[in-house]
Amino acid sequence: MSRQFVVSGLRPTGRVHLGNYFGAVRNWVELQDRYPCYFFVADWHALTSDYADPSKIRQATFDAIADWLAAGLDPDKSTIFLQSEVKEHAELHLLLSMITPLPWLERVPTFKSQQQELNDRDLNTFGFLGYPLLQTADVIIYRAAFVPVGEDQASHLELAREIVRRFNHFYGPVFPEPQPLFTATPTVPGLDGRKMSKSYGNTIPLTAGADEMRALVMTMFTDPNRIRRSDPGNPDICNLFQFHKLFSDPATIARVDRECRAAQIGCVDDKKLLAEIMIEILEPMRARREQIDRDPSIVWNALRKGNERARERASETLGMVRKAMQIDFPELR
Ligand code: TRP
């Protein structure tokens, strides 16, 4: 087991879908055997954009943790916690804000792009500008070496490294520079062929029940040029086939490829086949999720334990930070 620490988080967006699973969670499950890992739900980050309607955050947090556990994250191996329960993140965020030049935050590309994309609300807030600084605090408070994230988070990690250099330059070497860990992840298309994303409403939940899975797979887009059953299809542009590549065995993939091109298998037949394969492969995770829903204390207990472990490491770091910044009064403790 390495002594280098791994940290990653996700905003609470609800049930884990196949895009989240293949893009992040599956990778976390592998990392937990090799590194001390800290994985958390970033509920404060959810507030940076959803402050006017926080009504979904609580359930989304529960669903995320429940699915992480169902997917194989193990609270005995990883520290699984909730950001807002580890107040040390907030103190570090505040202290870092003192040394963070405004232009560094204003030029983070997601700041402007997200403001444009989420134009139904006012994101000209202090909290939203500070999003990547809070993320910096999330990472460096564990003195993390690696942060497994998608490419979309590259600029946030870049900022984290710049802040670390500035901090260490002023106050001495407290923090290592965190490196992103971009792992090769398959692109998972959504039901409509665009990238699978909650905001497109095209997701498939990792722990979908059998009937839900069958119904969802039936709505998948296939080769748009294949209109009649007798038309030969092109698996290369068929969404369904991408899922075969993720779930089916090589022989099935080869057979579907051949029979689709020869119009021997129809799209509906193929959907029925694929749905049953996905249901079977995902069954252990679905069953585990059902067990958690029958006993939600599994989630709360995992979090209580994780929060505690996270606080230990976070407060150790914060002690070093307070000393380095000379905001430290041991006489008062
Ligand atoms: N910004 C990340 C996302 O949108 C979530 C996040 C918050 C995060 N804090 C983090 C990721 C710290 C990695 C490390 O997915």
Alpha carbon of 141 to ligand 1 centroid (Å): 14
Written in H, E and C, the secondary structure of the chain is CCCCCEEEEECCCCCCEHHHHHHHHHHHHHHCCCCCEEEEECHHHHHHHHCCCHHHHHHHHHHHHHHHHHHCCCCCCCEEEEHHHCCHHHHHHHHHHCCCCHHHHHCCHHHHHHHHHCCCCCCCCHHHHCHHHHHHHHHHCCCCCEEECCHHHHHHHHHHHHHHHHHHHHHCCCCCCCEEECCCCCCCECCCCCECCHHHCCCCECCCCHHHHHHHHHCCCCCCCCCCCCCCCCHHHCHHHHHHHHHCCHHHHHHHHHHHHCCCCCHHHHHHHHHHHHHHHHHHHHHHHHHHHHCCHHHHHHHHHHHHHHHHHHHHHHHHHHHHHCCCCHHHC
Alpha carbon of 8 to ligand 1 centroid (Å): 6
Residue 280 lies in a domain: yes
Domains identified in the chain, total number? 2
Ligand 1 atom nearest to 135, measured from its CA: 9
Alpha carbon of 156 to ligand 1 centroid (Å): 9
Residue 197 lies in a domain: no
Ligand 1 in reach of 42 Cβ (< 6 A):
yes
63 with 172, same domain: the answer is yes
Of 211, 212, 153, the residue nearest 179 (C-alpha): 153
pLDDT in tens, the chain (333 residues): 789 999 999 999 999 999 999 999 999 999 999 999 999 999 999 999 999 999 999 999 999 999 999 999 999 999 999 999 999 999 999 999 999 999 999 999 999 999 998 899 999 999 999 999 999 999 999 999 999 998 889 999 999 999 999 999 999 999 999 999 988 888 899 999 999 998 899 999 999 999 999 999 999 999 999 999 999 999 999 999 999 999 999 999 999 999 999 999 999 999 999 999 999 999 999 999 999 999 999 999 999 999 999 999 999 999 999 999 999 999 998
Ligand 1 in reach of 93 Cβ (< 6 A):
no
Ligand 1 atom nearest to 45, measured from its CA: 7
146 with 273, same domain: the answer is no
Report which protein residue has its CA nearest ligand 1's atom 6: 9
Ligand 1 in reach of 9 Cβ (< 6 A):
yes
CA distances from 87 to 31, 108, 310, 312 (A): 26, 25, 10, 12
Q: Output the domain CATH number for residue 77.
A: 3.40.50.620
Residue of 11, 28, 84, 117 to test ligand 1 pocket, by largest number of atoms within 8 Å of CB: 11
Ligand 1 in reach of 139 Cβ (< 6 A):
yes
60 with 12, same domain: the answer is yes
159 with 64, same domain: the answer is yes
Alpha carbon of 13 to ligand 1 centroid (Å): 12
Q: Output the domain CATH number for residue 229.
A: 1.10.240.10
255 with 312, same domain: the answer is no
Ligand 1 in reach of 24 Cβ (< 6 A):
no
Residue 42 lies in a domain: yes
50 with 162, same domain: the answer is yes
Domain around 238 = 207-291
103 with 230, same domain: the answer is no
Ligand 1 in reach of 220 Cβ (< 6 A):
no
17 with 33, same domain: the answer is yes
